[in-house]
């Protein structure tokens, strides 16, 4: 029997990268999973691969009504909701403030914060009645950029610091009925994209030259984790049995950055 046998989760950004790995691992652990994904192609792929163990919904996390629809379709398919995983994100590909084109700054801010922060707020708001009913839990994907500089540019870093603050506030507000925790992955080679305002909507981390060497040389363990390597932390936090006394906690899955911090500035990448 898996750690999440009989549980139901909703994962945003579940069509690729860390989100897709979470979906697969939760299914392995016995859960049924709702997946909210912006890309229609990825929605179809997820539904095709996992069949009746998932309900895949196309939607934009920065739109409250799309979050409400994803919750409703998940509950309609599986009868309840135990865990909301706010995972969808946008990166800024290390564009520094001096290099930022001023005509794109405001729109880029809105796009990055719209997904990384507002998307979490809307997701929890939409899931709240179901999570109260199940005495469930929330898990946010944070980032090493929620704690340290140089893991992105100012927009990404600021948005992930905001996620840390949001997580702690919601952990306080929603106790004792709902636990709110997070996982902060370090550099991971995924399909993470950037904002359209910077022309980065087609850029993925996996296509950045030298990205694996950059990740390896900036963490003390000198590891390049895969998306799957982070999923055990999500499983534990989703299990009320195995993390029943944990709320407001963020598990850093970043190769040990906290003992040294980022040793190189990533801004030298030419994108």
Question: DSSP states of 160-218 as a string?
Answer: HHHHHHHHHHHHHHHTTT-EEEEEEE-S--S-----GGGT-TT--GGGSTTHHHHHHHT
CATH 3.40.50.720 fits 8-255, yes or no: yes
What pLDDT was estimated at residue 191? 86
What's the whole-number mean pLDDT along residues 155-181? 98
**Alpha-helix runs per DSSP H in the chain:** 17-28, 40-50, 64-78, 102-113, 119-134, 154-174, 211-217, 231-238
pLDDT at 156 over 80: yes
Contact between 45 and 23 under an 8 Å Cβ cutoff? The reply is no
pLDDT averaged over every residue in the chain: 94
**Residue whose entry in the numeric block shows the structure tokens 């999923």:** 231
For residue 210, pLDDT beyond 90? no
Token pair in block for residue 163: 């996620």
pLDDT of res. 205? 82
The region of weakest confidence among 14-23, 41-50, 195-204, 259-268 is 259-268
Contact 86, 18 (CB under 8 A): no
Residue 262: its pLDDT value, please? 55
Residues 27-34, mean pLDDT to the nearest whole number = 98
Please confirm, yes or no, whether 156 is among the known catalytic residues: yes
Q: Is the pLDDT of residue 271 over 80?
A: no
- Under the banding of pLDDT at 50, 70 and 90, the label for residue 269 is very low
Q: Residue 207's beta-bridge partner residues? A: none
Q: Give me the residue label for tokens 């707020």.
A: 121
Out of 148, 156, 172, 234, which one is annotated catalytic? 156
> By mean pLDDT, which of 48-52, 82-86, 207-211, 252-256 is the weakest?
207-211
Strands of 83-86's sheet in order across: 54-58, 32-37, 8-12, 83-86, 137-141, 179-185, 250-253
Interval 90-144: pLDDT, tens: 999 999 999 999 999 999 999 999 999 999 999 999 999 999 999 999 999 999 9
Model confidence band, residue 202 (pLDDT cutoffs 50, 70, 90): confident
């Amino acid at each position: 029997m898996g750690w999440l046998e009989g549980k139901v989760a909703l994962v945003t950004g579940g069509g690729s990268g860390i989100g897709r790995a979470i979906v697969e691992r939760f299914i392995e652990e016995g859960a049924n999973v709702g997946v909210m994904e912006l890309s229609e192609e990825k929605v179809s792929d997820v539904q095709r691969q996992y069949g009746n163990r998932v309900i895949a919904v196309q939607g934009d996390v920065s739109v409250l009504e799309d979050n409400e629809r994803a919750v409703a379709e998940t509950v309609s398919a599986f009868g309840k909701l135990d865990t909301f995983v706010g995972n969808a994100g946008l990166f800024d590909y290390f564009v520094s403030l001096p290099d930022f084109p001023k005509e794109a700054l405001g729109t880029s801010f809105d796009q990055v914060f719209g997904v990384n922060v507002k998307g979490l707020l809307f997701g929890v708001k939409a899931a709240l009645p179901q999570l109260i009913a199940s005495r469930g839990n929330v898990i946010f994907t944070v980032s090493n950029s929620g704690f340290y500089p140089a893991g992105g540019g100012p927009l990404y870093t600021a948005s992930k610091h905001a996620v840390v603050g949001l997580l702690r506030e919601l952990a306080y507000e929603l106790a004792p009925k709902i636990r709110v925790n997070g996982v902060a992955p370090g550099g991971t080679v995924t399909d993470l994209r950037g904002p359209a305002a910077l022309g980065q909507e087609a850029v993925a981390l996996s296509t950045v030259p030298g990205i694996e060497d950059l990740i390896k040389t900036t963490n003390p363990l000198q590891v390049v984790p895969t998306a799957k390597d982070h999923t055990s932390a999500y499983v534990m936090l989703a299990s009320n049995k195995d993390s029943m006394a944990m709320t407001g906690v963020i598990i850093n899955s970043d190769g040990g950055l906290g003992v040294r911090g980022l040793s190189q500035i990533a801004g030298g990448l030419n994108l």
